[in-house]
Structure 1
Amino acid sequence: MWNRLPTWQVFLWWHHFFLLWTTIDGQTRYSIPEELKQGSVVGNIAKDLGLVVSELHRRKLRLTSEAGKQYFSVDLGKGELVVTDRIDREEMCGQKPSCLLPLELVIDNPLQLHRVEIEIQDTNDNSPSFLTKEKVVKIAELVNPGARFPLESAQDPDVGVNSVRSYMLTKNDNFKLTVKNHKDGRKIPELVLEKPLDREKMPVHNLILTAVDGGDPVRSGTSEITVIVLDINDNAPQFEKQVYETNVSEKATPGTEILHVKATDADEGVNGEIEYFFAEQTSDLILSLFAIESSTGTIVVRGNLDHETNSLHRFDITAKDKGNPQMDGHCGIEIKILDINDNNPEIIVTSLTSPVPEDSAVGTVIALISAKDPDSGDNGKVLLNLSPKSPFKLNPSVSNHYSLVTNGRLDREKNAQYRVKISASDSGNPALTSEKIILVELSDVNDNPPIFSKPSYLIYVKENHPPGKILCSVSATDPDAGENAKVSYSILDSKVQDVSVSSYVYINSDNGSIYSMHSFDYEKLKVFQIQVQAKDQGSPSLSSNATVHVFILDQNDNAPARMPRSAKAGHLVTKVTAVDADSGHNAWISYRLAEATDASLFTVNLYTGEVRTKRAVSEQDDSSQRLLIEIKDDGEPIQSSTVTVSIILEDGLHEPILDLRHKAAEPSKKTGRITLYLILSLASVSVLSLVTFLILAVKCIRNSRSSSTCCMRRTDSDDYKNPNRNLQIQLNTDGPIKYVEVLGGDMLSQSQSFRSCMSPMSEYSDFTLIKPSSTTDFKEVISVLDASLPDSTWTFESQQQQHHCPCFYPGPERQCPRCYLPLLRCHGLPLSSEDASLRESGSPGYQGDGPWTLTRAITPGSPTDWRRPQTPLSSLSICTQGR
C-alpha cells in the first residue's frame, strides 16, 4: 500500500507517525494510520512522559487498554511504544468521525498512572460496495421525462475523504444520474429520465452504477441496474416527507408505536392503493428491532433497544402501489434512541498494592481506581465515595480516574486488614449506585518492643536449695508478627558481691525460665537483683527490661546463739540484719522485740538490730530463751516481717582456745605442722598475756585508787631493765575504757610495745601479747586471735595515726574510697583464703614493704580494715574488750 502512495503523502504519514502527539490535561496523544505493520514504532513514550528508560523494568511498567484487545506494547529496553497487532479502524470505530483508543500506562515503585490516547487515522483500505449487486427498476413507458428514481447508496467503511465521493452511470440515451446530498452526509444516487421510454423499441435497459471514493488511489464499486419499461400506471406513490425523524426511549417494549409514515398516489383504483415495506437494502439489525404495518405505514418496536449499543438508527421505507406495472416511492427514517439511567456505575481497580507496610507515610498510593458508566449525559457522570472512618481517601485524577491513598496512621496490631468499601453513584434521576470492597492487607513493621507481664518480679528462694532449680519464669509478649514477635531472653551483666550475676543464675533464652547456678547461703547473701532483657528478632530489634528481686529465705542451718550465764547487762548476744529491696524512706528499717520468753532479760536496738542483755543473767533464768523480733520499714503503707531468735544460756566460761581450734581448723585447712605452729603461738601469747595481767594486778593492789579497774604507769623498773628487753607499763584512760601501754626495748632495736585495754564489764581475766617475728607468723597469729576471741573486738594499730574506712554495704567485700583497698571482714564475716591473698598481694595505693596491720573498730558491726603503713611498725597495741 505504501508503495502506491506518492512521496509527499508517505512523508506526511510518517510525520504523523513519529511527531504528531500532544499532551492535553495530563494525557498524551499519538496519531497513527490504521493497518500499520506489527513492530512499527508509535513514539518514544518514555521520553515523552519524562521517564528514565533504565528504570522501566524495575518499576514494572505495564500497559492496559479499555478496548479489551492489546494492540500495543512498550519496549522496556528503549522506552518505545510499538504496534503488536493489526489495527482496523472500521472494526474498532465504525463510521465515527474520530477514532480514539485510550491506553493506561501503570508504573509501580512509586505507583503512577499515565493516560495515553492513540488516534487511529483512516486509510483508504476499503472500496465502496452495494448491498444489492443487481437492481431492477420498473418504469412505465408513459412516465414523463424528469422523473426521478432513487437508487441504492453505496457503503464505504472508510470515513472522510476515503468514503464515497461520487457516482457514475454508463452512457445511455434515456437516463442520466444525479446525486442528492442527504443532511446526514449520505450521497443518494437518483436515476433521472431524460427522454421518454418506448417499450416497443427497448423494453429493457441495462445500466451500471459505479460508486467512487475520494482516496488515493481511488477505489470503486459497481451495481447493475436493470430498467424494465412497463405499460401505463404512470404515477408513483409520493411520501409526505422525504425524511421522518423521531425519538424513542431505549426502554420501549415490543409493540410500541414509534412513527407513522404516509404516501399518496394520484392514480385511481388499484393503481392508487399503497403498501409499505422496508427498502431492499435494509440491514438485518433494523429488521430485528423494528417492524412496519404494510397497510398503515405504522412503524413499531420489535426488539430490545439499547442506547449504549446504538443511539441512532437510519433506514428507508418504500411505498408501492398495486398498479400494473407497480410504481413505488421512497423516504428515509431516523430514529434516535433516548438514554435512560439503566446502567449501574462500574468500579474498576486498575492496580492494587497489597500488603502495605503499616508505617507507610500519609499520601502513599495504595491503588488506582477508575469509574465507568455506559449511560450518557448526567446518567453517565459517576462520583466515588469511601466508607467513613477509614484511614484512606480518594484523590481524583483525569477522566474518572482516582488514586486510593493513605490518610492516617496505620497500625497492624489494631487492624491487620482493612475492608475498604468504595461506593459509586451516577447523577441520574433516580441515581444508580454500586459498591466494591477492596481488601488492603498490612505488613508488619517492628514498632512494638516486647512487654513483660510485670515490671518487676519477686522471687523467694530457700537457702541451700540444690543447683539447677528453676527460680521463676518471666514472660514478655510482642504484638508484632513473624520475626518481629519472636522474643528471646537474656540477663544483663551486673555485679553481685563483685561477681557477675551470670555466675549465680542462668536464663533460658526461649521461654524465660531462670535457673540457679548453685545453692545460696542466707548468711552470706540475702538479696540480689537480676536485670532481664526481652529482645525481639526484628530489624532493628527492640527490647525492654524487667527487674527480678531474689530474696534468700533463711533456713535453720545454724546453731542457736549461745550466751554464758555470767554475761552482764549490755552483753551483745547477737545481731539481726534485714534487707529491704526498696529505696529511700521505704528502705529505712527498724527493729522491735515483739515477744520474749523473758522480756526483762533482753533488748533490741531500734536501728542496728543488736540483741543485748538488759540485766545480768541469773541462775533462775531459763536455759533456753526465745525472742520474736518484728522488723518494719518506713514506707507507706508499712511493710513488716518477723524473725525468731533462739538463745541458749551455758554454764561456765566459754573457752576461746577450744573455739579457736575448732574454727581455725575448718577455714584454713592447713597441714598438721602449721596447726602445731599456731597452737604454740597461741600458747605463748596466752602465757605472755597472763604474765602481763599479773603484773598489772600487783601494781594495781599497791597503788590504785580505783575500785573497779586500774592501770599503773611505771617509767623505770629494775625488774625489767636489761639490755635486750625493757618492759614499761603506762596507765591511760579513754572514756569508759581503761588500758595500759606496755613498752619494751628501744625503737632502734625494734622492740615492741603492747597496750592492754580492759572494760569495766570485761569478763576475761587474761590478755595476749604478740610479737610478729615474720609476716607469715603475724598473719597466722591474727587468724588464731580472731578465732579465739569471736565475741570480742580488738585493734592492732601502729603508733602513727590511722584512718578507718567505713563499710557501707553488708557484703563480704567493698572498695575503700580512701585507701583503695578491699574492705574485709564486714559485720564479722570470717576471713577467706581470697582475703589472705589480697593481704599478701598489697595494693597500688601503698608503697614499701612494712608489715601489715589489722584494725578492727571497737564498735560492734563495724568493718575490719587491712592496710599497709607508710613506716615500719614500731609499737603494737593489743586492746581487748569483753561483751
Structure 2
Amino acid sequence: FNLKVEATDGELFSEPTYVNVTVVRGRMPSRSVTCRETGVAQSLAELVLQKATALRRPRVDEGYTDLFSANRLTPQFESFPSSIVVREDLAKGASVFQVRATDDDTAFNGHILYAISNGNRDSCFDIAMETGLMTVFRPLDRERSDRYVLNVTIYDQGLPQRSNWRLLTVNVEDANDNEPLFAKDSYSVVVPENTALGTEVVQVVAVDRDLGSNGEVSYSLLTAVPQFSINSNTGAVVVAGQLDRETIPAFNLKVEARDKAERGTQRFKVTTLSITLEDVNDCPPLFLPGSYSARVLEDLPLGAVIAWLQTQDSDLGLGGQVSYALANDGNGIFEVDAVSGAVRVGKQLDYERQQIYNLTVVAEDRGTPILRSLSYLDIEVVDVDENLFSPYFSEFAVRGSVKENSRVGTSVLVVSASDEGGDRVVWYSVRGGSGIGSFSIDEETGFPELTSGTSTGRTHCTPLQLNQYWQKSLHTPAVEPVLAELTAHPCSGTSAGRSHCTPLQWNQYWQNSLHTPAVEPVLAELTAHPRSGTSTGRTHSTPLQWNQYWQNSQHTAAVEPVLAEPTAHPCSGTSAGRSHSTPLAPQTHTSTWS
C-alpha cells in the first residue's frame, strides 16, 4: 500500500509525506520485539476529525434562538476506553462492550443512535442501534486476525443531525482452540540395523498456532518399544536399544504431539512413524544340527551321498547365500557340494586301512564382510565281509591215538586252520569218516574229543545223539533205523521181566547212570510194533511215535509197553552191542551235532 500522509491544524495543511506499507504473511514476529499501544495515533485522529466537524458546522442565526427546537448539542461518549480485550472463543451473540453516550438536547435532538462505521473486518462485531451493546456477530479467530480497530459513531436525530465518534481497539485474546499440526501426515525412515545407540534417526515437527503455553508442543511415543525414544521438546527420535533386523525387521510407532495449555483441555495430534531396519551382514551361517556323524559301508560306490550339511543364515541378499567346503577331506576320500552341502565319497573306502574320519566342514556367506562358521563330521567306516579266501589246514592229514577205555570228553589231538582274509573266526566241525559218533570237535578251538566208548559191548550214547542218528537213517538207506533194548528195569534197577516205565523215568534213570557206576546203563528192546501193536520183527519208528505209542499203551491193557532195541550203533555207526538212548530228550535240545 502507498499512503499519502498530511498534517493539518484545521485550517492550514503541511506538505504531504508518503509511506509504503508491505503486508507479509507468516509467523508472528519474534517475542524479543514488544509493541505497546500508546493511543497517540488514535488521539490525533480524533482531534483531526473534531476539527473538521467544527469547520463544517453551520453558523447559528444570532438574531433568534429557539431553545426547545434547536439541535444545539453534539452527543458525547461516557468513559469510552481506547481498547478492550476479548477471548477468541466467545460464542456468537456474547457481549463485548457496552457503549454509553449522552445528548442534553430535548426530544429527537437528544435521542442517540449507535453504529460501527468502519474497521469491522469479517463482520465479527455488531452493535445495537439504540442501546449501544456491542456483541459477537461471527466467531473470532485470533490466528486469522488478532486486533480490530473499530470506528464507533453516535448520532442524534435532530436537524441538523449531530454525531460523534471514537476509535475502539479490540484485541483478541488467544484461546486454546488449535491442535498441533505435524509437518507430514506420516513419517517413514530406513535405518541400518547396526546403528549405534543415541543416534538420531528422524525428527518429527508439529506447530501449534496458539500463543503462550497453548502453542508449546510436547512429544511422546505412544508405542512403547525399548529400541527407540523421543525427545519431548524437540521431537528427535533416537536409538535407545540394540537393533536386530533378524528379530524385528520393522517398527510402526505412534507419535503424539500435545500442547501445554494450562487452562482448559489440552489438544493433541497423533501421527505414524514407520522405521524399517536395513539388513547388515551380521549373522554367520548356523549349522543345523551343530555337528554330524555317519556310518558308511566300505563298499559304497564313488559319488554316494553319506551326509547333508544344512545351515541357516537370516541375513538378506548375498549375506544369506551360503557355500560349503571341507577344511580337511581325508586326502580326497570325501568331497562336498559347495551349493547343496551334500557330502559324497570321493575315493574308495577301505575298512582295513582306516575306520574313523574326523572332518571339519566350513560354511561361509557371500556378504560384506564374509562370515563363516565351522562344524564337524565324524564318519565311521563299517566293515563288509568280502570273504575272498577259504580257510585251510596247516597239515593235509593228522594222526592221533586214544586208549579204548578213555572217558568221554578226553582230548585226542589239536587241529589248526587259518584264513588269509584277516582276523576272521574259523569254526570247526566233523563232517564225515568212520569216527562219527565216537568223536566230536570243539567248534571254536578245534579240539577233538571222545564222545562214546570204543570197546565191544555196550556204548554210552545220549538221547540227543540217538534221535539225530535216527533222523539221518531216514535219508541214508545204508543205515538201519536206531532201536534200543531194555536190559534193566529203569525204575527199580532190576531186569526181572518187562515192566511199565514212562519215557521220562527212563531218561531220568539214564542221567543217573552216568554218575552212578554201580547202575548199569538203561537199554531198551522193542517188544511190540509201535504202530500196529505186533511184535513181529523190527520196525521203523521215530522216537516221537515211540513215545506216543507208550502213552496209548497206558490205557490199552492188551498192548504191552513199547521197548526198542538198537540194530545199529547210533553214535559210532556200528551195531556191536546196545546203546544208551532215551526217546524224549531230542524234543528240548538245541545244539547241533556233526
TM-score by length of 1: 0.39
1:373, 1:382 within 8 Å by CA — same for their partners in 2? Answer: yes
Matched, 1:552 2:381: yes
SS at match of 1:374: coil
What does 1:492-641 align with in structure 2 at a 5 Å threshold? 492-494=327-329, 496=330, 500=331, 503-559=332-388, 562-564=391-393, 568=414, 615-618=445-448
Q: Any unmatched runs of 5+ in structure 1?
A: 1-124, 131-145, 147-153, 160-180, 202-230, 579-592, 600-611, 622-883
The count of aligned residue pairs is 386
* Separation in structure 2 between the aligned mates of residue 129 and residue 555 of structure 1, nearest angstrom: 121
Post-superposition shift, 1:348?
4.0
Instruction: Look up the match of 1:392.
Output: 228
1:418, 1:439 within 8 Å by CA — same for their partners in 2? Answer: yes
Instruction: Look up the match of 1:282.
Output: 119
* Separation in structure 2 between the aligned mates of residue 385 and residue 552 of structure 1, nearest angstrom: 66
Cα gap change, 1:129 to 1:437, in 2 (>3 Å): farther
SS at match of 1:307: coil
Instruction: Look up the match of 2:307.
Output: 472
Matched, 1:157 2:21: yes
SS at match of 2:205: strand
- Matched to 1:542, the amino acid is L
1:470, 1:514 within 8 Å by CA — same for their partners in 2? Answer: yes
Instruction: Look up the match of 1:414.
Output: 247
What does 1:479-878 align with in structure 2 at a 5 Å threshold? 479-494=314-329, 496=330, 500=331, 503-559=332-388, 562-564=391-393, 568=414, 615-618=445-448
RMSD: 4.0
* Separation in structure 2 between the aligned mates of residue 401 and residue 259 of structure 1, nearest angstrom: 42
1:350, 1:367 within 8 Å by CA — same for their partners in 2? Answer: no
SS at match of 1:424: strand
Instruction: Look up the match of 1:581.
Output: none
* Separation in structure 2 between the aligned mates of residue 362 and residue 184 of structure 1, nearest angstrom: 60
Post-superposition shift, 1:561?
6.3
Post-superposition shift, 1:264?
1.4
* Separation in structure 1 between the aligned mates of residue 56 and residue 250 of structure 2, nearest angstrom: 88
2:389, 2:419 within 8 Å by CA — same for their partners in 1? Answer: no
What does 1:287-306 align with in structure 2 at a 5 Å threshold? 288-306=123-141
* Separation in structure 2 between the aligned mates of residue 297 and residue 277 of structure 1, nearest angstrom: 8
* Separation in structure 2 between the aligned mates of residue 295 and residue 489 of structure 1, nearest angstrom: 100
SS at match of 1:389: coil
Post-superposition shift, 1:555?
2.9
Post-superposition shift, 1:383?
1.7
Cα gap change, 1:410 to 1:324, in 2 (>3 Å): same
Q: Which of these residues, 263, 267, 285, is aligned with residue 105 of structure 2?
A: 267
Q: Residue deviations 1:582-620, cap 9 Å, x none?
A: xxxxxxxxxxx9xx9889xxxxxxxxxxxx997443389
State percent identity of aligned pairs: 26
The structure whose residues are more often strand, as a share, is 1
- Matched to 2:149, the amino acid is R
What does 1:314-325 align with in structure 2 at a 5 Å threshold? 314-325=149-160
Q: Residue deviations 1:95-149, cap 9 Å, x none?
A: xxxxxxxxxxxxxxxxxxxxxxxxxxxxxx832479xxxxxxxxxxxxxxx9xxx
* Separation in structure 1 between the aligned mates of residue 418 and residue 283 of structure 2, nearest angstrom: 57
Post-superposition shift, 1:512?
0.9
Post-superposition shift, 1:364?
1.6
* Separation in structure 1 between the aligned mates of residue 41 and residue 256 of structure 2, nearest angstrom: 41
* Separation in structure 1 between the aligned mates of residue 192 and residue 373 of structure 2, nearest angstrom: 24
1:486, 1:536 within 8 Å by CA — same for their partners in 2? Answer: yes
Q: Which of these residues, 183, 196, 205, is aligned with residue 361 of structure 1?
A: 196
2:308, 2:343 within 8 Å by CA — same for their partners in 1? Answer: yes
Bigger Rg over Cα: 2
1:352, 1:368 within 8 Å by CA — same for their partners in 2? Answer: no
Q: Residue deviations 1:749-797, cap 9 Å, x none?
A: xxxxxxxxxxxxxxxxxxxxxxxxxxxxxxxxxxxxxxxxxxxxxxxxx
SS at match of 2:49: strand
TM-score by length of 2: 0.57
Post-superposition shift, 1:510?
1.4
- Matched to 1:268, the amino acid is T
Post-superposition shift, 1:340?
2.5
* Separation in structure 2 between the aligned mates of residue 541 and residue 620 of structure 1, nearest angstrom: 78
- Matched to 1:389, the amino acid is V
1:277, 1:292 within 8 Å by CA — same for their partners in 2? Answer: yes
Cα gap change, 1:182 to 1:350, in 2 (>3 Å): same
Cα gap change, 1:185 to 1:282, in 2 (>3 Å): closer
* Separation in structure 1 between the aligned mates of residue 120 and residue 274 of structure 2, nearest angstrom: 48
SS at match of 2:295: strand
SS at match of 1:490: strand
Matched, 1:333 2:144: no
Cα gap change, 1:277 to 1:620, in 2 (>3 Å): farther
Q: Compare relative contact order (CA 8 Å, sep 6+) and give the higher one, 1 or 2.
A: 2
- Matched to 2:75, the amino acid is P
Post-superposition shift, 1:200?
10
2:155, 2:162 within 8 Å by CA — same for their partners in 1? Answer: yes
